Amino acid sequence: MTEKVYLADSYAKELDAKVVRASQGRIVLDRTIFYPGGGGQPIDTGMLAADGRRLKVIAVEKDGDDIVHILEGDPGLREGDSVRCVIDWDTRYACMRYHSALHLIDGVIETRYGSGMVTGGQIYPDRARIDIDMQGLSKERVAEILEEVNKVAREGHPITAMEMTVEEALKIPRLSRTETGRKLLGTLKSVRVVDIGGVDMQADGGTHVKDTREIGKITLSAYENKGSKRKRIEITLGSL
Ligand SMILES: [Zn+2]
């Protein structure tokens, strides 16, 4: 099993690791900071430094409990070799800010507006989009909600992650608001919960910033009406 250091320390930019399995360009390490994608957050790109060589990581995949780093060509790495993981930090950090922004929007909608729900989302390094199911939602209303979200972000709420048992997780009403979500939770041994202090709690395997002030200013960049139950919004974040 690969130790997923990105879950414990989302700010780790470099990490020494050992090759435990190498099959041509597919490398499994004993531990890694490369995020394999999921929950709307894209994979990390970057490189493995080995023997003075810089091997580009072009894709990252989950394989059971392992993380597979896919390199260009066959780098000739062997089991036991030492490598240094280096992720493209600017891209990752941007994705962390967007990921936390989406949770915050979800949390503010749930706690301050009560009747809405974020039903999907996708994160990019330069923008993010989410689908919201909320009665009577309009572009003006979204702008108003985002103003409230920006206010809450500026208050500086801590963002932390914790592991809990499924029983504990199911007691948190917001954590699994849909039947499919509850079923999925039921299949897990433990659940990682990302908590934005006082605003939001979600089962999540992604990487986040540690304080809502790191999100920066959220701006509505696009609004699309995709039906009565689905409004798609796109946001961009200001520089810090
Ligand atoms: Zn998430």
Indicate the domain borders of the chain. 3-87, 92-237
Q: Mean pLDDT, to the nearest integer, of 118-130?
A: 94
Beta strands in the chain (DSSP E): 3-4, 14-23, 26-29, 31-32, 46-50, 53-63, 66-71, 82-87, 117-124, 127-133, 159-165, 190-196, 200-203, 218-225, 231-237
Residue 116 sits at φ, ψ, to 5 deg, of -110, 170
User: What 8-state DSSP symbol labels residue 42?
Assistant: P
Q: What residues pack around ion ligand 1 (CB closer than 5 A)? A: 39, 204, 206
CATH 3.30.980.10 describes domain 92-237:
yes
118-122 contacts at long range (C-beta below 8 A, 24 or more positions apart): 119/230, 120/40, 121/40, 122/40
Ligand 1 centre to CA of 159 (Å) is: 12
Residues 88, 107 contacting (CB under 8 angstroms): no
- The fold of the 3-87 domain, in CATH, is Elongation Factor Tu (Ef-tu); domain 3 (2.40.30)
Q: What is the distance between the alpha carbons of residues 122 and 100, in angstroms, rounded to a whole number? A: 12
Ligand 1 centre to CA of 205 (Å) is: 7
- What pLDDT digit, counting tens, does each position of 17-33 carry? 999 999 989 999 999 99
- What pLDDT digit, counting tens, does each position of 188-220 carry? 889 999 999 989 999 999 999 999 999 999 999
Ligand 1 centre to CA of 38 (Å) is: 8
Ligand 1 centre to CA of 40 (Å) is: 7
Query: Has residue 176 got a pLDDT over 70?
Result: no
Ligand 1 centre to CA of 54 (Å) is: 31
